[in-house]
């Protein structure tokens, strides 16, 4: 499965750990492919610098060393969402034929998209645990 990580999931996993951190560990040990778009990468780097300036560079360097496929972002807006700020993430997922967007964003989770599927970290964690 091709899974695109949203900014909030990366922050949650790498800064706070918890279920999102455990989920990423499970995903890294699986056959699933993890993707991050240029848009999400830039947003993640900006949020690190704003909220955790003392450890931003170290966390960013660690994150860039992980087994993640970094992909380009498309200029074309694809799909519609209630929060227009999320359209670049959806567009990149559609452009790269992603199966799942992993996000904690309420607007995504309530969007009822047919493709890609939208999972929260808790939903994906439960799915992986019951599957194994």
Which residues lie closer than 8 Å to 48 by C-beta, 6 or more apart? Answer: 11, 55, 56, 59, 60
Is pTM beyond 0.95 here?
no
Q: Which of 3.40.50.10540, 3.40.50.1010, 3.50.30.10, 3.40.50.150 would CATH assign to domain 2-131?
A: 3.40.50.1010
Residue 118 — left, alpha, or beta (φ > 0 → left; ψ -120 to 50 → alpha)?
A: beta
pLDDT digits (tens, 9 = 90+) for 50-90: 999 999 999 999 999 999 999 999 999 887 777 788 899 99
Structural contact between residues 71 and 83, judged by C-beta atoms closer than 8 angstroms? no
What pLDDT score was predicted for residue 109?
Answer: 77
∠ Cα 34 39 105 (to 5°): 70
How confident is residue 35, by pLDDT bands cut at 50, 70 and 90?
A: very high
41 pLDDT higher than 90: yes
d(CA 82, CA 91): 14
How confident is residue 132, by pLDDT bands cut at 50, 70 and 90?
A: low
Number of Cβ atoms within 10 Å of the Cβ of 75 = 8
Q: How many helices (H) and strands (E) does the chain have?
A: 7, 5
Residue with tokens 């560079």: 57
Question: Tokens for 5?
Answer: 């990580």
∠ Cα 91 5 26 (to 5°): 150
Kindly list the domain boundaries of the chain, sorted by start residue. Answer: 2-131
């Amino acid at each position: 499965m091709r899974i695109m990580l949203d900014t909030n999931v990366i922050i949650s996993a790498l800064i706070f750990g918890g279920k999102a951190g455990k989920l990423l560990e499970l995903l890294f040990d699986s056959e699933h492919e993890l993707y991050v778009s240029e848009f999400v990468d830039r947003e993640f780097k900006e949020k690190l610098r704003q909220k955790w300036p003392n450890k931003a560079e170290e966390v960013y360097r660690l994150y860039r060393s992980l087994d993640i496929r970094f992909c380009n972002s498309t200029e074309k807006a694809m799909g519609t969402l209630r929060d227009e700020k999320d359209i670049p993430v959806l567009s990149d997922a559609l452009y790269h034929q992603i199966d799942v967007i992993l996000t904690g964003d309420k607007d995504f989770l309530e969007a009822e998209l047919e493709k890609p599927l939208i999972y929260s970290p808790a939903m994906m964690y439960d799915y992986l645990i019951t599957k194994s």
